[in-house]
Amino acid sequence: MADLIDSVADLIDVRDRDGLEATLARIAFELAGGRTLVFWRVYRRGERAFLRQRIVLPSTLEGGGFDEGDEVPVAAAAEPLRLAFQSRAITRWRDRPGDPAGCVFPVFGGTDLLGLLEIELGSDLDRERIALVSGMLRVYRSHLAALEYADTDELTGLANRRTFDDQFNRIVLAETHRRDGTRIDDGKDARAHLAVADIDFFKQVNDRFGHPYGDEVLVLFAGLMRASFREGDRLFRFGGEEFVVLMSNCGVDDALIAFERFRAAVEAFQFPQVGRVTVSIGVTSLQPGDAGSAAFGRADQALYAAKHRGRNRVLLYDSLDISPALESRRPQAADVELF
């Protein structure tokens, strides 16, 4: 009983989704007495659903620990995974008598199916162990809901500003370890990037049409962000009409293509009553040991440069010739209409 209470405490001590998944996988592996465990994260693009191998235990296995494997369409996945996905219920399997048994547990966040826990066993999983794993999944579900309530912008459903530092530090730490002090060619090699996006002349939208329509623009703008970026990219609303994107494992050229695609999607979208709006975006590439405030400041300067040069554009800080005027960055009250 003491071990079970410790497991619950370990789970609710974690405050981010990646850490929660890793802790959940370890606890489920121990409670089930499994030989191996794979955590599959569920992704959706349009009407199609995919599985991506996220965690493998024990970590002594090839690819153990965190392992962002290739996406597998659910339709092409192993039968137990397909059945668990379709039924949203625990699915057991054993190919032949004497073979290892297995069990797939669906992992939920609210009513959404977030992932699948695939556990291979030396023998059938008894009811007591099924109940223990199922109970831990309910604790995970409740804790995730509480975290998302605290960490989510109420209007748009994006992450809020209070979550930024933790997500940023995780990305920079991974970036620092990956580079290991070696020189990287920015044009070719994958790295992480931060962008600050600001809706142009948003104050005029609120003044002309009223705040309810302004709020609708923000909600639809957030939807365009979700549709334009990858599942693993971190999207934030910092407040008002200011949004932030953290993109990892992407070459700078590909990142700029993604930000330009988003800018064009906003420009082409017909917002109800309001019509067309545009967005200006400042981008910077992250460095090993970067601080969130420093990276945000660089992207913010690029954003100001984009506003200064006519708005409705994407500018990369790293390629700008930053003048003293832009170094001072923030306009005075008389200049606030720039934004």
Residues that are catalytic: 241
Q: What is the pLDDT of residue 333?
A: 35
Cα(269)–Cα(272) distance, rounded to whole angstroms?
9
The rounded percent of the chain whose pLDDT value lies above 90 is 52
Work out the average pLDDT over 79-91. Answer: 94
- Does residue 191 have a pLDDT over 70? yes
| Gyration radius of the chain over CA positions | 23
- Kindly report, as residue ranges, where domains of CATH 3.30.70.270 are found in the chain: 159-338
Residues whose CB falls within 8 Å of the CB of residue 240, separated by 6 or more in sequence, listed in order: 202
Numbered ranges of CATH 3.30.450.40 in the chain: 2-149
Q: pLDDT grade, residue 65 (50/70/90)?
A: very low
Q: What is the CATH number of domain 159-338?
A: 3.30.70.270
**Res 338: pLDDT:** 42
CATH of 2-149, one of 3.30.450.40, 3.30.450.20, 3.40.50.2000, 3.50.50.60: 3.30.450.40
pTM exceeding the 0.85 threshold for the entire prediction: no
86: left (phi over 0), alpha (psi -120 to 50) or beta: alpha
Q: What is the pLDDT of residues 106-154, one digit of tens each?
A: 999 888 899 999 999 877 778 888 898 999 999 988 888 777 777 788 8
pLDDT digits (tens, 9 = 90+) for 227-284: 999 878 999 999 899 999 999 888 999 999 999 999 999 999 999 999 999 999 999 9
Residue of higher predicted confidence among 233 and 338: 233
- Beta carbons within 10 angstroms of residue 97's beta carbon: 5
Please determine, for residue 171, whether its predicted confidence score (pLDDT) is greater than 80: yes
Compute the mean pLDDT over every residue in the chain, rounded to the nearest whole number.
Answer: 84
Judged by DSSP in three states, 153 sits in coil
Kindly give, in sequence order, each residue whose CB lies less than 8 Å from that of residue 242, ignoring residues fewer than 6 positions away.
196, 197, 198
